[in-house]
Amino acid sequence: MELLEHEAYNLLEPSEGESPAPDPDAGKHAFEVFCDCIALDEQLVAYLIDVLKRQDRTAFYKLSQVTTHLDLDPREFLYWLSHREDYGSTDERACALIMDACFTRLYEEQQGELLGALLSGDRQTFELFRTEAPELRQVPAATYEWYSRNYLDRDYPLRFILRCNGVAFPDTPEEEK
């Protein structure tokens, strides 16, 4: 048994002269990594919603430990996610503003199926929606690539889902003292 464990360990370690695989999360903010991990599973998203609505700091810390191996603060996470576009490019800010307006309208119109397809990144749905949505018709930059790069890949779908499920976002990064 000890020999098998040793062999498995050797398989995980890069051989001499062989460089380790690059870390796909290198250069990402811890909250981005957390969002990426949560977005992989609908049950994790549902659990995160529950934890945040109950303001269960202990459960949030456990979830952040499991996903990022870090102790993330739920209030700081929500503040960061709420202000995500403040840290982005001009294109990202414009895209977030436009798409959030589109999605808010769809949510209010109870167009859940269309909203779900768009939030999941369905290209055909976006291309059709782009020609019909008044918010997008006059925006030449509003291609699928623009949407994917500046919205889908930047944690905005998770933010929108949290808001639709009643998660409250703080106005300030820390508790008022």
pLDDT in tens, 115-139: 999 999 999 999 999 999 999 999 9
Q: Residue 164 — very low, low, confident or very high, per pLDDT cuts 50/70/90?
A: very high
| DSSP conformational letter for 20 | P
- State the chain's mean pLDDT as an integer: 87
Residue 97 pLDDT greater than 90, yes or no: yes
- Give the mean pLDDT of 88-113: 96
**CA 35 from centroid of its chain's CA atoms:** 4
The answer for residues whose C-beta is within 8 angstroms of residue 109's C-beta and 6 or more apart is none
Q: Residue 1 — very low, low, confident or very high, per pLDDT cuts 50/70/90?
A: very low
Residue 22 pLDDT greater than 60, yes or no: no
How far apart (Å, rounded) are the C-alpha atoms in residues 38 and 63? Answer: 9
Phi-psi label, residue 110: left if phi above 0, alpha if psi -120 to 50, beta otherwise = left
Q: What residue spans define the domains of the chain?
A: 30-164
